[in-house]
């Protein structure tokens, strides 16, 4: 491939067409390589909030963020 005259793409052609979204099963978040950080962060925040039965104060503490930051992120998720 290095000596080829034309540009040759290497990789799985189906990979680009697959959605890159994290999944949560039994409290475990799985993230595929290529998933955006924003999508990953969203899934982790929502999974943590679910783990603490919607208790935002506990979720923020577990995530290591302020309660205000958690509220700001949730507002963004609701708007989107």
Where residue 63 falls (left for φ over 0; alpha for ψ -120 to 50; beta otherwise) is alpha
Q: Please report whether residue 14 resides in a domain.
A: no
Q: What are phi and psi of 57, to 5 degrees?
A: -65, -45
Q: Please report whether residue 13 resides in a domain.
A: no
Query: pLDDT per residue over 33-70, tens digit each?
Result: 889 999 999 999 999 999 999 999 999 999 999 999 99
Q: Are 67 and 57 in contact (CB under 8 A)?
A: yes
Q: Please report whether residue 70 resides in a domain.
A: yes
The structural domain count of the chain equals 1
Residue 29 sits in a domain whose CATH number is: 1.10.10.60
What share of residues in the chain are helix, strand, coil (percent, to 5)? 45, 10, 50
Q: Please report whether residue 53 resides in a domain.
A: yes
Q: Please report whether residue 6 resides in a domain.
A: no
Q: Please report whether residue 47 resides in a domain.
A: yes
Query: pLDDT per residue over 20-36, tens digit each?
Result: 788 888 878 888 888 99
Range of the domain at 31: 23-79
10: pLDDT strictly greater than 60: no
């Amino acid at each position: 491939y290095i000596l080829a005259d034309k540009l040759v793409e290497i990789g799985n052609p189906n990979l680009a067409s697959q959605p890159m979204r994290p999944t949560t099963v039994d409290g475990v978040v799985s993230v595929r390589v290529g998933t955006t950080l924003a999508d990953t962060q969203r899934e982790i925040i929502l999974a943590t909030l679910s783990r603490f039965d919607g208790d935002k104060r506990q979720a923020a503490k577990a995530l290591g963020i302020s309660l205000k930051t958690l509220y700001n992120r949730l507002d963004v998720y609701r708007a989107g």
